[in-house]
Structure 1
């Protein structure tokens, strides 16, 4: 081995070491855990093996090794605040792992770890120490591990006993867990230690300082916690889960005291330094470290399908990216820079993680788009923060209200923690508790009956373990009919022995032609018949609550079904055919979008129903009519070619090598189906498809819209659905032409002419309204109050019209000479408010935008604007008088110069 190993060499040495000892090399899973609502991101190497540890999933190997992508930047596993300011905290990191699923246990795991660390890596034994579980919460201390380490030659005075907090591990509130044993490396007693600075001795391996650095964690998986804070249940087979952070091991092997000084980061930091035009230094480079670290997290999260948004995983990514962009601004980077740093990450890590290079265009587009978006609001938001800080300091206050923090968050996209940091730099606190109160209020307003992630019911997991997977018959031939045995009946979440007429239950059969909803394709409907036609049930839906198990939601209409009955199952063939056509069309649509818009297009979700298809994809601007035509022409051209569709079953890696497109969000097994609807389109897919591309019939786009930042949505119809859509559109077109007394051909000209006439009439109505109000403006001014030496007026006008308000406000300002005016009113159940101030009172401290912002809160709304003119609105017209009272109160309390 070379004297100093690179991080890539360490990664490969680790994986090869365990491969040579019978472990299967397994690729890193996605950063987005599949079917696991307990975790925001993959936080450890064992996450993809959770169901294997618990026995719910079986694989054809009992030993595995991997280098797992991990992110800790949200929820309980959150290191974001420390990133850039310590030597070892990161949002993204790689976890080297070796795993045993009921194969070897403590003895071999400890021997492997010690051999790799001391022999393969060549770390000095004198600088190593280990820890074992001391026993706590009714769990005995790990004497076995203690003796096994001693057997490896570790001095007993270098084996430390630590408690539950340090030496008991779990990935989340629930799941497999167990006592652990760690290897620590001594970096030196010259490193700073808070305990020593306080006059107390360093706590050694238990201390939070960096004198002793944990580099290896062996988890002895012995238990499962099925409920948060619930009891521990022994696992069916004790297993091993190792976690060894590549960044930390690289720093030790390369003789560095900071992870940022290793080759994992130096190239990225060099790129930041080049852009900034200043050298990187450990002492003064916190902002550079933030940018470097966050560029890695962004690259990998986007590659795994996460996009910046205002909720969930997307919000965590947005926080990471915007934190990096702001630190770039602190470094003087005022032009777009972040995508250039991210591109260096793609170059550096693309060999180890091919998905980075495969999605390079998409990753850079998302990064560039987010920076452009944030920079548009950053300057404005900073000005607002500065104004707020000035007012707070002028009033002698030291805390910004939670409502104001929320306003910055909701209106300008400022993550709350970024606002908190900026305020802290200016000596002001942020009321974060109040901010979360505002978030909760907003959540209650928008509350709905569903949830984003749902945990799979235990009954289905148990059935899968007991019965095994359901055999799907729908791929063979037409696949509309088949015979199967009823293996289980579920009612109200529990197994029952039978179901009779009138019962609504779930049937599980050993084999079925019904497709269970997955991959966006809706489940089949149809019927089940038993006992020679004496028992009948309507199948209303088919679902896959857990991978491999198809559950039929049925209503029994005649007779009785019992567990063990043989039944005939029949799918609604016409409905299935329509679904197949729409599903195959989504594949062709995906390819057409890539060809027309670019390779950055990635599927972001889909719905395949019998009457339509919906396809979400990554793109940053609306499709032009010309682009929509191009997409339609490509798909319909492939349909007319009527090529035979092909389906192949092969290994996952072979499928990817063949060029088959894998969909984000899908969990694939070792063996996959590869569907080629047309030579232009080959994708991994478990759904049902047409036999020939011509079976799709006509393809017609129905709508195109945006659903999130960087995500577009199209809906389309095929076959008879497309024909029906065209006919309905023609009928509506003819009806509209008849109403306007013209032909469909001349309809657009007639509509344009009518619109022009309407606008002219509206303008004349506005002019009349303004003149009418102008005539009474003298009377209105008589209602003005004298406050602080200026005229102040609040008046109501219904129905509200912003254009009329502005015209009247200009006339009132001209007549009032010196003062501030509010005009409010109701239109269609909404509040319209306008504040106007003369130039002289603005110079004395009146700010129309600030006045409106506070008034809008009274009517459950928001608004803002310039110092002399501002407009906004709200939801509660009954509160308009309260808003006027607030206006007078604010003006009276304003300190004028």
Structure 2
């Protein structure tokens, strides 16, 4: 067998199936057009609508090398030879075309003749009663009967969900040899060890399963196959595991270099290097496809992978940020096949760098908690860290158990591993429950049925804003009807339409549809199913019937304002890239007739000077009155021309490219002005952060900018009248007024403190004493937290050997608590944090802090007197424990 690289195997597979009449598709995005999935988890996911009969395929045979992400077994990555988060699935698909008779011999031909695997090492599994597949393997391929295994539904039957298309499957197994065996006498195909390795799964979708579980043969039978490239490469390259193939080895070697370890000398360090190598590939591809770190959804998965990488880097002893140093190797190893890694290199680096720095701070906080817990254990004479604490360190602060054990071991403390595993299992169960969405069913609706019959909806709105058409469908309350009368709300599908359906951030058009004796007011235009445009609105007169000839007229004034804002969005995008850097990438947008909103990745607030420069660049393009040209071309040609593709869009083979002469070029299906001068003045209204690394700009253009400037001008004129002088001196006068306000506020606080102290100077007395430390408690009405602390400082000056516990009752009876202890009293055992925590609990609140300073509170003051009455006893008990 000839040794081949992963790149060669990928190309060998795709070319082989092109020879069999399959159309080669470039890998689809990791973020699928499927509400039941977070990520593309298999090669069939982009084709799922074809298998489920929701959409007609453009071809009957297809092949892909699909990038995939699975995270159900993330804890196993690095521990096993085969688990990964990111992997490539080689697949070929038939939509009612070839079936078992073809695919089984083809699979054998590819593996034995093209790849060169030893036929005597190959086995096959088939479903229990799939005699057809068994006979093809034995009679047509020539595989001996003893090397064909019949297995049950769990192993050899595939379904998209509890109902819908399903069918038996056949797995191809490769015997890696006795050195991979578990050694058990029963070791054979189906064993959990690595000897008999599944390398390819052929799924035969030939049935439809109903709610009662009954299987009915499909009129058109489909094929879905999947083979992991990493797994195939390990077999061909003779590697003991996927990580030692050329797909991973360069990344692992770089990781070893960065952390100064030698692979193969320490299993624990090897595992950490594998995890980092796996996660950096997954993270780079996620970011390239538009995923950004967040606290939920796809962003949470990305954040978790980045943080796991950093944690295991720490375990290897690397304290500085290091992930971005691995990116060049990732690009070199796979970037020639997946150009997005190169095109988005700047954004990937920026996201990783920011998230790693942020998490480094979180790790420091976790270390503080760790040592605090260890100190408590040592004070109590205990030698084991509770499992739930270890889990909090893992789940909240990102500490792997190994890191926690290592830190505890330095202090002679062990970790309750059983308790930790119990908490981990509970989390896994929650994750499994959440991930059950991956088996959810995409079902038919009135829209998918109409799309199957009528889509794609012809759209003439680029050239005109009105046209004649016929009513192809009427939908009322989710069902198709033949007519709809005045006063009723409905949705219409037309044979042709100038109405733009909401897409790519641009809102849908409004307008009117008129038939003889009937008027339908269009309130919105949408795509409820791919390529199907519906007009949602209300019949205001007459009745609209199926087949009616109508005049469809878009609200032209509104459309013009939308065009202005959409082209302004393109100008804004390019200007931000030029001012802030090439890492800037659209993360979402809304284009309306009255404003635009543009979300983009950037990792610091945009300064006033930067915003002014962005506006200056955009306005410069408006003054040029540059032509805005739209061209339709092949997707690959568009990308080669430098057109910017937006990650949230899914593109076909032919795309619209919108270019502003000598300035910007983007793939866009929206409507635009003919020349930039039509836009008018573009004014940024607001810039704000909306998430980790995501900023948002709101701006106005065209007619909306005049009222804005008029209101700004009126406000400035009023301010000039109030403060005197002119516009140029207004800013300095406002700054002086604010400075004066701050001085007055500070003086007012000082007077409040003096007034409070004059009232209690003679009345404040310790109410308890223990171990040479006194306790003072007082409560005040209508004070700020800052004032409460100042009062505490004054009392502490008078009573240096006392612990002070103060309560402030504010609006709606809410209670603020502050506790203070001087360094002298802390040495004697006083602890403000423990005291305030216990007292706050008495009134149903929370609190905590350091031994010297702590804060807390409660929603109501109803139990404040009771809590203060208990405070002396709590204080004495805490002090007694310190003796």
**TM-score by shorter chain over 0.5:** yes
Residues 6-15 or 791-800, more deviating: 791-800
- More displaced, 721-730 or 516-525? 721-730
SS in 2 for 1:797: strand
In structure 1, the partner of 2:455 is 468
8 Å CA contact 1:392–1:399 kept in 2: the answer is yes
Q: Is the CA contact (8 Å cut-off) linking 1:586 and 1:613 kept in structure 2?
A: yes
- The residue aligned with 2:145 is 156
The Cα shift of 1:789 comes to 6.1
Shift of 1:526: 1.2
Distance 1:97 1:368 in 2: 34
Other structure's SS at 1:713 match: strand
| Structure 2 runs not aligned, ≥5 long | 409-413, 435-439
Q: TM-score, normalised by structure 1?
A: 0.89
The structural deviation recorded for 1:886 is 8.6
Larger mean Cα displacement after TM superposition, 335-344 or 63-72: 335-344
1:198-597 to 2 correspondence within 5 Å?
A: 201-223=185-207, 235-281=218-264, 283-284=267-268, 285-388=270-373, 391=376, 394=380, 414=398, 426-427=415-416, 429-430=419-420, 432=423, 458-476=445-463, 479-531=464-516, 534-597=517-580
- The 2-side partners of 1:633 and 1:47 are apart by 45
Residues 173-192 of structure 1: pairs in structure 2 closer than 5 A? 176-191=165-180
Deviation at 1:435, TM superposition (A): 8.8
CA RMSD of aligned residues (A): 3.2
Q: Which of these residues, 93, 97, 100, is aligned with residue 91 of structure 2?
A: 97
The partner residue of 2:639 within 650, 656, 671 is: 656
For the structure 1 residues 432 and 623, does the alpha-carbon distance in structure 2 shift closer, same or farther, using more than 3 Å as the test?
same
Sort the Cα spacing of 1:839 and 1:661 in 2 relative to 1 into closer, same or farther, 3 A. same
For 2:822, the equivalent position in structure 1 comes to 838
Alignment-derived partner of residue 167 in structure 1: 156
2:385–2:415 CA contact under 8 A, matched in 1: no
Secondary structure at 2:590 match in 1: strand
CA contact (8 A) 2:493 2:533 kept: yes
Is the 8 Å Cα contact of residues 32 and 304 (structure 1) preserved in structure 2?
Answer: yes
- Summarize the Cα distance change of 1:303–1:224 in structure 2 as closer, same or farther, 3 Å threshold: farther
Alpha-carbon separation, structure 2, partners of 1:386 and 1:224: 59
2:130 aligned residue: 142
- Does the alignment pair 1:896 with 2:879? no
In the alignment, the residues of structure 1 paired with residue 695 and residue 402 of structure 2 have an alpha-carbon distance, to the nearest angstrom, of 28
Among 65, 68, 73, the residue aligned to 1:67: 65
Alpha-carbon distance between aligned partners in 1 of 2:407 and 2:210, rounded to the nearest angstrom: 42
Specify the SS of the correspondent of 1:472.
coil
In the alignment, is the contact (CA less than 8 A) between 1:405 and 1:419 conserved in 2?
no
Contact 2:472 2:547 in 1 (8 A): yes
Check conservation: 1:836, 1:870, Cα contact below 8 A. Answer: yes
Map Cα deviations across residues 840-875 of structure 1 (whole Å, 9 max, x no partner). 443355543455567677888776543311335565
1:123 lines up with 2:107 in the alignment: no
Instruction: Quote the residue 1:137 is aligned against.
Output: none
Which ranges in structure 1 are unaligned for 5 or more consecutive residues? Answer: 135-140, 444-452
Q: How far apart are the structure 2 equivalents of 1:12 and 1:474?
A: 41
Show the counterpart of 1:608.
Answer: 591
What does the per-residue CA deviation read over 1:757-798, in whole Å, with 9 as the maximum and x for residues that have no partner? 222221122112222332344566436334676433443322
Would the alpha carbon gap of residues 354 and 433 (structure 1) be closer, same or farther in structure 2, given more than 3 Å must change? closer
- Give the 3-state SS of the residue equivalent to 1:502 in structure 2: coil
Displacement, 1:824? 2.8
Q: Is the 8 A contact 2:201 2:225 kept in 1?
A: yes
Of residues 97, 104, 108 in structure 2, which corresponds to 1:110? Answer: 104
For structure 1, which segment, 877-886 or 263-272, has the greater mean C-alpha deviation from structure 2 after superposition?
A: 877-886
Residue 486 (structure 1) shift: 1.4
Change (3 A) 1:666 1:501: same
Q: Distance in 2 between matches of 1:427 and 1:258?
A: 32
Separation of aligned partners in 2, 1:372 and 1:779: 52
How far apart in 2 are the matches of 1:603 and 1:373?
Answer: 22
Q: Is the 8 A contact 1:133 1:164 kept in 2?
A: yes
Do the aligned partners of residues 814 and 231 (structure 1) sit closer, same or farther apart at CA in structure 2, a change above 3 Å counting? farther
Give the equivalent residue in structure 2 for 1:822: 805
In the superposition, the TM-score normalised over structure 2's length comes to 0.91
SS at match of 2:341: helix
Aligned residue for 1:56, secondary structure, equals coil
- Corresponding residue number in structure 2 for 1:447: none
Paired with 1:455 and 1:882, the residues of 2 have a C-alpha distance of 58
Q: Is the 8 A contact 1:307 1:366 kept in 2?
A: yes
Contact 2:840 2:857 (8 Å CA) reproduced: yes
Kept after mapping to 2: 8 A contact 1:291/1:324: yes
Asked whether the 8 Å contact 1:777–1:812 carries over to 2, the reply is: no
Deviation at 1:369, TM superposition (A): 0.7
2:811 aligned with 1:812: no
Distance in 2 between residues matched to 1:500 and 1:126, nearest whole Å: 73
User: Structure 1 residue 591: deviation in Å?
Assistant: 1.1
By how many angstroms is 1:876 displaced?
5.3
Instruction: Look up the match of 2:54.
Output: 56
How far apart in 1 are the matches of 2:187 and 2:289? Answer: 40
Q: What count of residue pairs does the alignment treat as equivalent?
A: 861
Instruction: Tell me if the contact between 1:699 and 1:718 (Cα under 8 Å) persists in the aligned partners.
Output: yes
Contact 1:38 1:173 in 2 (8 A): no
Q: 1:354 to 1:845 in 2, by over 3 A?
A: farther
Map 1:848-859 → 2, pairs under 5 A: 848-849=832-833, 852=836
On the 8 A contact 2:720/2:726 being kept in 1, the answer is: yes
Q: Distance in 2 between matches of 1:859 and 1:529?
A: 67
Cα deviation, 1:264-317, whole Å, max 9, x if unaligned, reads 111111101111112111734111111111111111001001011111110111
Higher mean C-alpha displacement, 858-867 vs 535-544: 858-867
CA deviation profile, 1:810-856 (whole Å, cap 9, x unmatched): 22233444343332324455653322123244335554345556767
